[in-house]
Amino acid sequence: MELKSVSRRSFLVGSGATMVGVMLGSHGLLNVVQAAQDSTNGDTFSPVAWVVISPDNKTLIYSPASEMGQGTMTSIPAILAEDMELDWSTVSIEKSPSNAKLFGNPRFGGGLVTGSSRTVVGYYEVMRLAGLQAKLALINVAAKAWSVPANEVVAENSVLRHAASKRQMTYGEAAAQAGDSVQVPAVDKNMLKPMSEFRIIGKNQPRVDVPAKSSGKADFGIDAKVPGMVWAAVMRTPVQGEKPEKVDDTKAKAVKGVQKVVTLPYGVAVVADTFATAKKARDLLQVTWSETSKTRSYDSDVALQEFVARAEKVGEAGDVWHKEGDVAAELKGAARTLSATFTSQHVAQCTMEPMNCMAMVNGDKITFWVPSQSASIVTGTAAAVGGFKPENIQVNITYLGGGYGRRVEADYAADAVFLAKAMPGIPVHVLWTREDDFLRSRPRPLTAQHIVAGLDDKGNIVGWHQRVISEGIYARFNPKAYKASGNKDAPVMEGADTIYAIPGQLFEHGLEQRGLDVSFWRGVGAGYTKFAIEAFIDEVAGQTSQDPLALRLALTKDQPRAQKVLEEVAAMAEWKKPRPEGRALGLAFSDTWTSFVAMVVEVSMNEGKPVVHHIWAAVDCGHAVSPRNIASQIEGSALFGLSALLDEKLVYKGGQAQQTNFHQYNLLRANQTPLVDVKVIPTDNAPGGIGEAGLPPVAPAVANAVAKLTGKRVRTLPFPKEI
The answer to whether residues 539 and 632 belong to one domain is: yes
Peptide bond into 578 cis (omega under 30): no
Mean pLDDT of 275-289: 98
Looking at the fold, whether 80 and 152 belong to one and the same domain comes out as yes
In 3D space, the residue among 97, 85, 170 whose CA is nearest the CA of residue 131 turns out to be: 85
CA distance 702 to 645: 9
- pLDDT of 524 strictly over 80: yes
pLDDT given for residue 44 in this prediction: 58
For residues 22 and 10, is the Cβ–Cβ distance under 8 A? yes
CA dihedral 91, 94, 100, 102 (to 10 degrees): -30
Say if 438 falls within a structural domain: no
Question: Residue type for 122, please?
Answer: G
Q: Kindly write down the DSSP assignment for every residue of 309-357, as one continuous string.
A: HHHT-TTS--EEEEEES-HHHHHHT-SEEEEEEEEE-------SSPPEE
Helix locations, 489-626, DSSP H:
490-493, 524-543, 548-555, 560-573
Write out pLDDT tens, residues 91-103.
999 999 999 999 9
pLDDT tens per residue across span 46-92: 667 899 999 899 999 999 999 999 999 999 999 999 999 999 999 99
CATH number, domain with residue 513: 3.30.365.10
In a domain, 216, yes or no: no
91 membership: H or E segment, kind and range: strand 91-95
- Flag whether pLDDT at 18 surpasses 80: no
Residue 581 lies in a domain: yes
Q: Based on the fold, state whether residues 103 and 196 are members of the same structural domain.
A: yes
d(C-alpha 148, C-alpha 138), whole Å: 13
Does the residue 336 lie in any domain? yes
Domain boundary (156, 175, 209) is at 209
Is residue 437 in a domain?
no
Residue that terminates a domain, selected from 185, 209, 233: 209
Domain boundary, last residue among 411, 431, 451: 431
What pLDDT is attached to residue 36? 30
Q: What angle do CA 44, 47, 48 make, to 5 degrees?
A: 115
Q: Is the pLDDT of residue 235 over 50?
A: yes
pLDDT confidence of residue 614 = 98
Report d(CA 454, CA 450) in Å as an integer: 14
Q: Say what the pLDDT of residue 180 is.
A: 64
Tell me, what's the pLDDT at 12?
Answer: 25
Is 244 within the bounds of a domain? yes
Same-domain status, 385 and 491: no
CB 201 within 8 A of CB 83: no
Sequence-distant (≥ 6) Cβ neighbours of residue 659 within 8 angstroms: 348, 438, 649, 650, 651, 665
From CA 627, how far away is CA 19, in angstroms rounded?
Answer: 31
**Run of H or E residues at 4:** strand 3-7
pTM for the model:
0.93
Q: Which domain holds residue 484?
A: 300-346+443-717
- Together in a domain, 452 and 420: no
User: Cα–Cα distances in Å, from 532 out to 176, 178, 271?
Assistant: 60, 59, 47
What mean pLDDT, rounded, does the chain reach?
Answer: 92
User: Are residues 602 and 649 both part of a single domain?
Assistant: yes
Strand partners of residue 4: 184
314 and 275 in one domain?
A: no
| Sign, CA torsion 488/490/494/500 | positive
Q: Is the per-residue pLDDT at 16 higher than 50?
A: no
Q: What is the CA radius of gyration of the chain?
A: 27
Reduce the secondary structure of 177-224 to three states and give it as a string: CCCCEEEEECCCHHHCCCHHHCCCCCCCCCCCCHHHHHHCCCCEHHHC
Q: Are residues 288 and 304 in the same domain?
A: no
| pLDDT score recorded for residue 181 | 67
Residues 40 and 77 grouped into a single domain: yes
Contact 620, 717 (CB under 8 A): no
Q: Is residue 295's pLDDT more than 70?
A: yes
Which tens digit of pLDDT belongs to each residue from 144-199? 999 999 999 999 999 999 999 999 999 999 988 886 667 777 899 999 999 999 99
Which of 54-63, 395-404, 522-531, 591-600 shows the lowest mean pLDDT across its residues?
54-63
Residue 95's nearest CA partner among 70, 118, 64 is: 64
Evaluate if residue 450 carries a pLDDT over 50.
yes
Q: Determine, yes or no, domain membership for 334.
A: yes
**Count of structural domains, the chain:** 3
**Whether residues 530 and 663 fall in one domain:** yes
Burial of 486 per CB tally in 10 Å (0-12, 13-18, 19+): exposed
Query: What's the pLDDT score for residue 49?
Result: 86
Angle subtended at Cα 588 by Cα 587 and Cα 593, rounded to the nearest 5 degrees = 155
Burial of residue 352, with CB atoms counted within 10 A of its CB: 0-12 exposed, 13-18 middle, 19 or more buried = exposed
**CA atoms 227, 436, 344, 600: torsion sign:** positive
User: Cα dihedral sign for 18, 20, 25, 26?
Assistant: negative
Percentage of the chain exceeding pLDDT 90: 91
146 shares a domain with 43: yes
Residue 3 binned pLDDT confidence (cut-offs 50, 70, 90): very low
Q: For residue 390, how far is the Cα from the chain centroid?
A: 25
229 pLDDT exceeds 90?
Answer: yes
d(CA 350, CA 404): 8
State the pLDDT at residue 46: 63
Tell me the average pLDDT across 196-224.
Answer: 96
Give me the pLDDT at residue 175, please: 87
Residue 436 lies in a domain: no
SS3 450: strand
CA 79, distance to chain mean position in Å, is 19
| pLDDT tens column, 605-659 | 999 999 999 999 999 999 999 999 999 999 999 999 999 999 999 999 999 999 9
Element (H, E) at 287: strand 286-289
Contact present, 484 and 331 (Cβ < 8 Å): no
- The alpha helices in 100-180, defined as continuous H runs, are 100-103, 119-146, 171-176
Handedness of CA 111, 596, 707, 311 (dihedral sign): positive
Q: Which among 83, 137, 76 is positioned nearest to 104, based on CA atoms?
A: 76
* Domain co-membership, 379 together with 485: no
